[in-house]
């Protein structure tokens, strides 16, 4: 295990691993429950993503699932129990479902969608930075079929990714969206083809391997430049005007970028015709 400034969290229903330098892999591990997430799971995952942001040696996170599901959404048994007891308060952190659906964060998180991705699972994916999906993946916001609503951040974000009509189709019909549709709509970056006879383990391994390769491309770049570039795209995606977003980015981040060590290293490496050796970001 790599050496960290602070020990990693120990989530109850997820496992943490480090498949490549600077990369954190978080695997949801409630396969019998299709990796649905309960109150403790939300709190645990919020802590994991906070830890990712705080550890200088980590640059990219990946989320995936065990078994045939990425995440089937909320723990409806827990939700039903709370509703019947008169407790209608949602027990999620400010960062939303799985600590991701409303996460601001500093570092990129990729989704490696190995299978079923419904409800809160889709809400997390919608706010991830990139989505690598198995050819077995299926997406959906089926909340309306259960008399509830996708309130963890998906509704206001999905319209910016797929457009009004498609967002309405997902939210109002609650139907399943195939991985091919999701890619065509812009929700999925890349589909990993998995043979029909592959086991669940082989399927998950293949999609995670591809996600790790993509995360490696990100981790190989200047950590400072990645953070600032991500911030700029987020500002635009969150419906801030283009000029206003550029001004905010320059006033908040660019000066710190220019004062850092990595910009000097990147330029020197180019001039000297060598591979840059990045320092952990101090932004």
- Distance between CA atoms of residues 15 and 167, nearest Å: 32
Distance (Å, whole) CA 179 – CA 263: 38
Question: Is 215 assigned a catalytic role?
Answer: no
- What is the C-alpha separation between 169 and 173, in angstroms, rounded? 6
Q: Is 74 annotated in the active site?
A: yes
Q: Is the CB of residue 18 less than 8 Å from the CB of residue 2?
A: yes
Are the CB atoms for 51 and 6 separated by under 8 Å? yes
Find the catalytic residue in 120, 121, 153, 260: 120
Q: Is 72 a catalytic residue?
A: no
The two three-digit tokens of residue 249, written as one number: 């980015």
Given the DSSP bridges, would you call strands 109-113 and 116-118 parallel, antiparallel or unpaired? unpaired
179 close to 157: Cβ distance less than 8 angstroms: no
- Kindly name the residue from 123, 153, 215, 245 that is annotated as catalytic: 123
Active site residue 123: yes
Pairing of strands 69-71, 116-118: parallel
| Catalytically annotated residue among 74, 137, 182, 219 | 74
Q: Please report, for residues 38, 141, 203, the alpha-carbon distance to residue 41 in angstroms, rounded to integers and kept in the order given.
A: 5, 20, 24
Query: What is the C-alpha end-to-end distance of the chain, expressed in Å?
Result: 25
One of 143, 150, 154, 182 is an active-site residue; which one?
A: 143
Active site residues: 74, 120, 123, 143
């Amino acid at each position: 295990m790599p050496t960290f400034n602070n020990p990693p969290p120990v989530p109850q229903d997820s496992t943490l691993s480090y498949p490549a330098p600077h990369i954190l892999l978080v695997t949801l591990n409630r396969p019998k429950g299709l990796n649905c997430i309960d109150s403790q799971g939300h709190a645990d995952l919020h802590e994991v993503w906070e830890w990712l942001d705080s550890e200088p040696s980590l640059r990219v996170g990946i989320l995936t699932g065990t078994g045939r599901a990425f995440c089937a959404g909320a723990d409806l048994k827990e939700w039903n129990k709370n509703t019947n007891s008169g407790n209608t308060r949602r027990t999620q952190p400010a960062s939303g479902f799985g600590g991701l659906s409303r996460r601001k964060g500093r570092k990129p998180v990729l989704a490696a969608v190995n299978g079923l991705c419904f409800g809160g699972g889709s809400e997390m994916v919608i706010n991830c930075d990139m989505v690598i999906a198995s050819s077995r993946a299926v997406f959906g916001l089926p909340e309306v079929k259960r008399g509830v609503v996708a309130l963890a951040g998906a509704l206001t974000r999905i319209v910016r990714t797929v457009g009004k009509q498609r967002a309405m189709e997902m939210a109002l019909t609650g139907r399943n969206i195939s991985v091919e549709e999701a890619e065509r709509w812009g929700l999925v970056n890349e589909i990993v083809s998995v043979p029909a006879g592959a086991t669940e383990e082989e399927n998950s391994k293949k999609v995670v391997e591809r996600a790790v390769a993509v995360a490696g491309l990100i981790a190989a770049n200047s950590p400072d430049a990645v953070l600032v570039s991500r911030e700029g795209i987020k500002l635009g995606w969150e419906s801030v005007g283009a000029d206003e977003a550029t001004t905010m980015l320059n006033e908040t981040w660019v000066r710190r970028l220019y004062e850092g060590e990595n910009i000097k290293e990147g330029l020197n490496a180019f001039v000297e015709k060598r591979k840059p050796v990045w320092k952990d970001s101090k932004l």
